[in-house]
Structure 1
Amino acid sequence: MLVTSLVSNENYQWDIVFQYFTSTAVLEGLRMTLLLTVVAMVVGVLLGIVLAVARDSANPLVSTAALLYIGFFRGTPLLVQLIFWFNLSALYPVLSLGIPFGPTFVSGSTNALITPLVAAILGLGLNEAAYMAEIVRAGLQSVDHGQTQAAQALGMTARQVFRRIVLPQALRVIIPPTGNQTISMLKTTSLVSVIALPELLFAVQIIYSRTYQVIPLLITASLWYLILTTVLTVGQTFLERRLRRGDHNRPVAAGTDSTAAVDDSIDGPVDLAKDRSR
């Protein structure tokens, strides 16, 4: 019945859907959506790594600061954060860079600096970092500390231990949820329509505010979101399979020394951790 309705109900206006599907305005909005997704995820991943390291720091001030950051950005709605960044000029009309209580080197109008694009990147990227911090932290903690100690006992440097022992195993835990976060970010970019950034949803809103063809244009946007999320899902699945292909599933027998396990992997990455993302 649903399929019949989709075909026979003229209110869907499929001709209008496909008329605007590849229109210039919609494609420009699509480009902005992809740009926001990539930039926000890069900011989120890089800052998330820093926060993950800071979260496990032996320095209580650094650890507490990271914990407060994560708690704040995970505990407040993303939409509120976006609106806050967009209206930052109400709190700070002028932004300055200089020495505290000393000379100011650069200053400028907040309205000129915090454009809708900048506000969107700040809101999406800083919020994403709070979630990526926990994902990265979980991945690093999934590696048995005994392997790190064994590698150090074999004379490997800290960089070698991280690159050849910790990272290959941690990535198997980090990548699946990071892929999910990327797909979620693609859809979350639609929230920036409230700050008048011309991404995909805002682009169709502008069109149907003139034509009053609300439903077909929302279908147009939905189809593009479905296509993009499908492509990302296929890419994520392919990447996960590639990672599992390197997993030889070599169980460590009872009583096996960790040093021996690490010694077998000097010429290649160690993989003793199970994929905990499943």
Structure 2
Amino acid sequence: MSWDYILTVMKPMLEGTQTTILMFLFSIVLSIPLGFGITLLMRSRFKPLAWIAHTYVYVMRGTPLLLQILFFCFGLPLLPVIGEYLVFERIVAAAMAFVLNYAAYFAEIFRGGLLSIDKGQHEAAKVLGLSKRQTMVKVIIPQMIRVVLPATANESITLIKDTALLYAVAVPELLYYAQAAVNRDIQLVPFFIAAVMYLLMTLVLTLLFKALEKRFSFE
């Protein structure tokens, strides 16, 4: 074993890491606002809409992410009538599955955060003459963020690890290249390198969210 071998193996794995990070960023940027929107729908006074939102969250959280990825990659094109219009590149289909899956988890996190806010906050804001929109933006959401940050951090770390599921649909991410190197060279080193890369990514996320929690704790 030499440093030359490690560097040779790391080159494609770093390319795979770019795909891993891009999938994470794409998923987190879209799933968080979508999740909050679903939370608002779950709290809607229009019961059919709330029921649909609750059912969506139940289905997405109650079925494996891998199954959802496989469905979006291989199942959508098989749907009658509209299937021919739902053929996407595998990375695009997988990204859709990630966004919709994690939006459901974030929706539950945000719902819990909103439920933790005392109802007196709404009444106090009303006394101060704030509109419902102003109350939500200036009073409720800042408090909710403080409450949900730890759970959001955990889900974000889980997301960076779940990107390894792209391996199942042959999207060349970090684990894909690690497995290819192991099969080719009959060496475990690529797996250890992949583990270190995942640990570094989760470390960055952990530090980022700790900084956010510290900032919001003083607000």
Question: What TM-score comes out, normalization by structure 2 length?
Answer: 0.92
Corresponding residue to 2:173 among 187, 199, 204: 199
Which ranges of structure 1 fall in alignment gaps of 5 or more residues? 1-12, 97-107, 247-278
CA distance in 2, matches of 1:28, 1:203: 9
1:229 counterpart residue number = 202
| Paired residues for 1:166-185 under 5 Å | 166-185=140-159
RMSD: 2.0
Change (3 A) 1:178 1:16: farther
2:212 counterpart residue number = 239
Corresponding residue to 2:139 among 165, 179, 185: 165
1:128 counterpart residue number = 102
2:123 counterpart residue number = 149
1:18 aligns with 2:6: yes
Rg bigger for which structure? 1
- Residue deviations 1:33-53 (CA, integer Å, cap 9, x gap): 001111111222122111101
CA distance in 2, matches of 1:235, 1:125: 21
Deviation at 1:170, TM superposition (A): 0.9
CA distance in 1, matches of 2:204, 2:6: 20
Corresponding residue to 1:77 among 64, 73, 91: 64
Deviation at 1:207, TM superposition (A): 2.8
In percent, how many aligned pairs have the same letter? 34
Aligned AA (1:160): Q
Deviation at 1:15, TM superposition (A): 4.2
CA distance in 2, matches of 1:93, 1:60: 30
1:27 counterpart residue number = 14
Deviation at 1:92, TM superposition (A): 2.9
| Greater displacement, 77-86 / 153-162 | 153-162
User: Contact (CA 8 Å) 2:10, 2:193: kept in 1 or not?
Assistant: no
CA distance in 2, matches of 1:179, 1:88: 31
User: Contact (CA 8 Å) 2:9, 2:181: kept in 1 or not?
Assistant: no
User: Contact (CA 8 Å) 1:17, 1:220: kept in 2 or not?
Assistant: no
Comparing both structures, which one devotes a greater share of its residues to helix? 2
User: Contact (CA 8 Å) 1:82, 1:124: kept in 2 or not?
Assistant: yes
List structure 1 runs of 4+ shifted beyond 4 angstroms: 13-17, 93-96
Deviation at 1:68, TM superposition (A): 0.7
User: How many pairs are equivalent?
Assistant: 219
Change (3 A) 1:17 1:94: farther
Deviation at 1:17, TM superposition (A): 6.8
Change (3 A) 1:17 1:83: farther
User: Contact (CA 8 Å) 2:32, 2:106: kept in 1 or not?
Assistant: yes
Aligned AA (1:166): I
Aligned AA (1:239): L
1:190 counterpart residue number = 164
1:249 counterpart residue number = none
